[in-house]
Amino acid sequence: MITNIELAQDPTATPILPLTIDNLAQWLTSQPHATAAWCQHHGFAAQPGKYLAVPGEEGAVSSILFGLGKGGEKVGDFWSFGTLANDLPAGTYRIDTDLDPVLANHAALAWAQGTYQFDRYQNEDDVGNGIAKLCLPETADPAAIKGAIKGGFLARDLINTPASDMGPEELADAAVELAKEFDGTCEVTVSDDLLAANYPAIHAVGRASARAPRLIDLRWGPEDGRRLTLVGKGVCFDTGGLNLKGTAGMAKMKKDMGGAATVLGLAAMIMSAEWPIRLRVLIPAVENAVSGNAYRPGDILSTRKGLTVEVGNTDAEGRIVLCDALAEADSEKPELIIDMATLTGAARVALGTDLPAVFTGSDEIAEALNSAGEKTDDPVWRLPLHGPYRALLKSKVADLNNVSDGAFGGAITAALYLQSFIEDSSRWVHIDTYGWNDKDRPGRPAGGDGLAMRALFAMLSDRFDQA
């Protein structure tokens, strides 16, 4: 899977020398005059993302100079290795400087992700330049890199796979496979068994699809370890249900399991890092479809927690399936519950595509996650669980409505809905994410993406990597 990263060192690999604008001049003073002349002739001034092959004896390439511009200190300055991986000719390369481990890890991650292509359905192999391989920098942490690449690729592949091949069953298969790989377990409760097991809300949303709804329950690590539970929205396709979406709204709804994909990717990172914890991943996997037995506006649903929910809109299905999974997660009283969901268009209106919205009752976690996001260049932004808006979810006939009838604050009201199913929101984080890159950026190709996954991993590693 890690096709363009070599874990072993290779002394014959072509060295890549990352240079900032500031240290290029300094570096040139230690080089033969010919090198400075070569740089000047090619207009290489360490501009960000630019590279220059420097000839050695007999015209062979002796090294690659790689521009970092004015940067070179922040993780974000190293995404450009993703472009370099595509631009360089086939061969084996190594980074010829002692990078700080965090930066070295990021350069390798960018290199791997830069060449990511979702090519499952393409007959022709577009190998471009062939493969430029990078030997893992010596200061990098192989386990961390492997985990990050595995998690990142897994989330992308799951999201990018069209709904026809990524239904509730296939999503469950992916979780089962992941559990197997790390010696965990994965139980899946399917179809009418959901009713017997008291997951009525998941069943109600998912029953209209020819592809049966299910609850995926992955567990890993010692039973008596500290508990961390991840919950992911696994809506494999969101038509909107009877409140059917329009053309534009439905176009990308194969990605409505982006929360599930991201928590599975995060789980892969955590299990690769072998944290001494008890990890649980709960994913309600459904297709929000239209048929004669579809749930309807006006229906009143029972939920696992016992609260009744009036369906104001069948397109607010994510919160309905999540509330059963959250109630189950909460019943075990783990140290922390994190749910991730492509929950609302409103979160995107508020923050755009690139900033997952964070809701939590813990100021400390919110701040830690915010700074982890900055550190890993995987930014998030907190929005408030503004209590007074809870009134917007009042129902005359049930304990709550699944939507507000107003048009404003939709990401907040969705989060407040979920909060009703959690006892102590200081142990809960809700993330409303886009799960997708609309545009190609270095190291972050357009398409599915597990946004906030690395930020969460960094925030959690300060808390959970010790027993």
The residues of the shown chain that bind ligand BES, judged by CB under 6 A, are 238, 256, 313, 315-318, 342-346, 348, 403, 410, 434
Could you say which of Mn ion, ligand BES, Zn ion, none residue 313 binds, taking C-beta under 5 to 8 angstroms by partner kind?
Answer: ligand BES
Binding mask 221-260 for Mn ion (x = CB under 5 A): -----------------x----------------------
319 is catalytic: yes
Q: Residues near 394 by Cβ (< 8 Å), separated by ≥ 6?
A: 400, 401
Tell me how far apart the alpha carbons of residues 284 and 68 are, in angstroms, rounded to a whole number.
43
Interaction between residue 235 and Zn ion (CB under 5 A):
yes
Tokens of 209: 């699809």
What is the 3-state secondary structure of 410-434?
A: HHHHHHHHHHCCCCCHHHEEEEECC
**DSSP string for residues in 61-85:** EEEEEEE-TT--SSGGGGTTHHHHH
Do the strands 357-360 and 436-437 form a parallel or antiparallel pair, or are they unpaired? Answer: unpaired
Shortest Cβ 301–Zn ion spacing (Å): 16
Residue nearest to Zn ion (CB): 238
Instruction: Pick the piece of the chain touching Mn ion (CB under 5 A) from 158-166, 312-320, 321-329, 366-374.
Output: 312-320
Give SS3 for 457. helix
Shortest Cβ 351–ligand BES spacing (Å): 11
Shortest Cβ 233–ligand BES spacing (Å): 8
Shortest Cβ 209–Zn ion spacing (Å): 13
Amino acid residing at 32: P
Give SS3 for 47. coil
Shortest Cβ 313–ligand BES spacing (Å): 4
Residue from 310, 315, 324, 330 binding Mn ion (CB under 5 A):
315
Q: Of 74, 219, 245, 390, which residue is the catalytic one?
A: 245
Tell me how far apart the alpha carbons of residues 205 and 207 are, in angstroms, rounded to a whole number.
6
Bridge partners of residue 54, in order along the sequence: 63
Q: Of 94, 207, 278, 319, which residue is the catalytic one?
A: 319
Interaction between residue 287 and Mn ion (CB under 5 A):
no
Residue nearest to ligand BES (CB): 345
Exposure string over 307-334, b if 16+ CB within 10 A, otherwise e: bebbbbbbbbbbbbbbbbbbbbbbeeeb
Residues known to be catalytic:
245, 319
> Applying CB under 5 A, which residues contact Mn ion?
238, 315, 317
